[in-house]
Chain A
């Protein structure tokens, strides 16, 4: 392993500490929003991130947290850049991230894209209840407490829960 690779690995370890302010169990690495890390003598370290949803209000806070966390580890000259292309998708969320989400009580996105279509009045996606694992659930609202979530309820244990919708 070259020193450069070790160095990058260390940066990724720092970034693991930065959580999504809305879903504090997920790190920005779990979410798949860190797209690249660039380094150069004159420009320092550039962390390239992409928003989950266009209007995600957490992005400014995430950018600030990256700078503060990196500074606390002694990294200087940090630049955070936001790019839109290619557009983020829930496919980039790590398996570890999906596991943490479920543990936290939010149903993780289904592996197959089932929501991003134009069909009207389509049947509800089969979403597994994060509490009792039943697939016997129904959607209450396609729009939830944040842009990335829909609201569901379990028909067996009756608990309402958030679903991190596939995107």
Chain B
């Protein structure tokens, strides 16, 4: 199957060299790594319906990742979606640090999904109006699925946060584990200047929504005791936590062990 990419106007937008490729890869890597993480739940979910839900979300994210990789490959040239996913090293991956964090318990997986889906939904809202027609098309297509992910994960954050003593304690722990990886979403890397996204607005809307869901869930976002909360950064530039290497080892095993194998 061939894909058409509406990048015929690329000459009109003169971003700095390679920015568009890097930004597309950042979007691709982020969706792929979260899909891979969520897929670790396959067959292990707390109940069958939720096992199916988290793996369905994985599948949607892999679909988005494929669209981004295919587009990136068309921009870069002389490569394809598989090479980009399976043959790049840890330092070349530009995904958000949040999505590579371990699944932890169900509460931590749910919270990671919620913090990300809330961000992704608002990001795609802006991106669907991008001047880059292909990124706009992918965002407009994917936002419909993202609204399912967002609703599902929001409901679970509320259910668990405002649930039993045990589930509440676990959600507090999940907030502690993940919060410092959320700041990075709103600090644009150099290549993100071509995205046309208003990161100030994005952060503001995200914070409002998260506060509202947290308040219903009887959870409180860390305040840093009056000072700024320390936020981890680096994923967008290829500086990752120790977890990404292990994820790639598993994800890329077949292509590394049997180069060019197909099935």
A55 beta carbon closer than 8 Å to chain B: yes
A167 touches B2 (CB 8 A): no
Which listed residue (B4, B52, B136, B147) contacts A83, Cβ 8 A?
Answer: B4
User: Does B256 have its Cβ within 8 Å of any Cβ on chain A?
Assistant: no
Which chain A residues lie closer than 8 Å to B151 at the CB level? 117-120, 142
Are B137 and A143 in contact (CB-based, < 8 A)? no
CA distance A60 to B63 in the complex (A): 12
Min CB distance, A111 to chain B, in Å? 17
A143/B3 in contact, CB under 8 A: no
Does B42 interact with chain A (Cβ within 8 Å)?
no
Residues of B near A143 (CB, < 8 A) are 49, 52-53, 56-57, 148, 152
Decide if the interface of chain A is mainly helix, strand, loop or mixed.
Answer: loop
Contact between A55 and B64, CB atoms less than 8 A apart: yes
Q: Which of B53, B141, B154 contacts A84 (CB 8 A)?
A: B141
Question: Does chain B have a CB within 8 A of A144?
Answer: yes
C-alpha spacing A81/B2, complex, angstroms: 5
A104 close to chain B: CB less than 8 A: no
User: Chain A's nearest CB lies how many Å from the CB of B122?
Assistant: 11
The answer to whether B53 touches A81 (Cβ under 8 A) is: no
Closest to A167 in B: B144
Which residue from B52, B136, B137, B145 sits with its C-beta under 8 Å from A144?
A: B52
B155 at the interface (CB under 8 A from A): yes
Tell me the complex Cα distance, A115–B158, Å: 20
Q: What's the tally of chain A residues with a CB closer than 8 Å to chain B?
A: 35
Given contacts A55-B60, A55-B62, contact A120 B1 (CB under 8 A): no
The chain B residue sitting closest to A88, CB to CB, is: B141
Are B49 and A81 in contact, CB atoms less than 8 angstroms apart? no
Contact A84 B64 (CB under 8 A): no
| Residue B248, interface by CB 8 Å | no
> For the complex, what is the distance from the CA of A118 to the CA of B155, rounded to whole Å?
11
Contact across chains for B1 and A81 when beta carbons are under 8 A apart: yes
What sequence of 0s and 1s flags, for each residue 129-173 of chain B, a beta carbon within 8 Å of any chain A beta carbon?
Answer: 000011011101110110110111011001000000000000000
Residue of A whose beta carbon sits closest to that of B146:
A54
B4, B49, B136, B141: the one within 8 Å of A54 (CB)? B141
Q: Is the Cβ of A63 less than 8 Å from the Cβ of B1?
A: yes
Contacts of B59 in A (CB 8 A): 55, 57, 147
Q: Are A54 and B1 in contact (CB under 8 A)?
A: no
Are B138 and A84 interface neighbours, CB within 8 A? yes
In the bound complex, how far is the Cα of B2 from the Cα of A82, in angstroms? Answer: 6
A120 vs B151: C-alpha distance in the bound complex, in angstroms?
A: 6
A40 to B136, CA, bound (A): 29
Selected A-B contacts with CB under 8 Å, 12 pairs: A54-B64, A54-B66, A54-B138, A54-B145, A55-B145, A56-B63, A57-B59, A84-B67, A115-B148, A121-B158, A141-B52, A147-B59
List of 6 A-B pairs having minimum Cβ-Cβ separation, nearest first: A55-B63, A54-B63, A85-B137, A141-B49, A63-B1, A143-B53
